[in-house]
Amino acid sequence: MPASDTALIVIDVQTDFCPGGALAVAEGDAIIPAINAMMPEFGMVVLTQDWHPANHSSFAANHPGAEAFSLTDMPYGPQVLWPTHCVQGSPGAEFHPGLTTAPADLIIRKGFHPEIDSYSAFFENDRTTPTGLEGYLRSRGAKSLVLTGLATDFCVAYSALDAARLGFDVTVRLDACRAIDLNGSLADALTQMRAAGVTLEG
């Protein structure tokens, strides 16, 4: 019987983040069988989805002369400028076709405000504007969260750190995640998650 107070959070398993996509994470699709197999073990399943307008400020293409993966300063702090990805309604924004979506109780779309990116499932990158996920989980009685998905060192790590800060018991299943590892970002993310009390498994 699935634990009623434990939720599985599946982060951004979308076509653009998998091999062949606009912002492909190496082996991003390799985690899908493990995630699908985990879903029946949980009383709650939440999927998140990057959902950017074409004019999003985090896209390098919207900053003339800027290189993809370079850094810029936004009002909320440093921001990586990404290749255009997960544009609202585009094939790349869809969940990977191999991902089982029927068990999802909730789909959270994030990054839809043009002026601010949103890595975390809980807050936009100003770390204060909520997505509404916390309220949903509280109302369902969730106390423990297990996170999987893409990418370990960005959206998964930001979500895990925010969840820990909010008082949830947080586990990241590293075997069901893959990383971008941009300039050492994976090692940094793992260090931060451990320091915040996040359990790293797999």
Query: Is 12 labeled as catalytic in the residue annotation?
Result: yes
Q: What is the rounded CA–CA span in Å between residue 111 and residue 109?
A: 7
Catalytic residue from among 18, 86, 155, 177:
155
- Which pLDDT value is given to residue 1? 52
- Which pLDDT value is given to residue 113? 96
> How confident is residue 94, by pLDDT bands cut at 50, 70 and 90?
very high
Query: What DSSP assignment string belongs to 109-173?
Result: EE--STT----SSSB-TTS-SB-SHHHHHHHTT--EEEEEEE-IIIIIHHHHHHHHHTT-EEEEE
- Which pLDDT value is given to residue 79? 94
- pLDDT tens digits, one per residue of 11-21: 999 999 999 99
Query: Is 105 labeled as catalytic in the residue annotation?
Result: no
Catalytic residue from among 12, 16, 29, 50:
12
- Which pLDDT value is given to residue 71? 94
Question: How far, rounded to the nearest angstrom, does the alpha carbon of residue 89 sit from its chain's CA centroid?
Answer: 18
- Which pLDDT value is given to residue 4? 82
- pLDDT tens digits, one per residue of 38-76: 999 999 999 999 999 999 999 999 999 999 999 999 999
Query: Is 153 labeled as catalytic in the residue annotation?
Result: no
Mean pLDDT of the chain: 96
Mean pLDDT of 108-112: 97
Instruction: Examine the pLDDT at 86 and tell me if it is beyond 80.
Output: yes
- Which pLDDT value is given to residue 188? 97
Catalytic residue from among 29, 110, 117, 177:
110
Exposure letters 168-195 (e unless 16+ CB within 10 A, then b): bbbbbbbebbbbbbeeebbeebbebbee
> How confident is residue 2, by pLDDT bands cut at 50, 70 and 90?
low
Percent pLDDT > 70 in the chain is 99
Instruction: Examine the pLDDT at 24 and tell me if it is beyond 70.
Output: yes
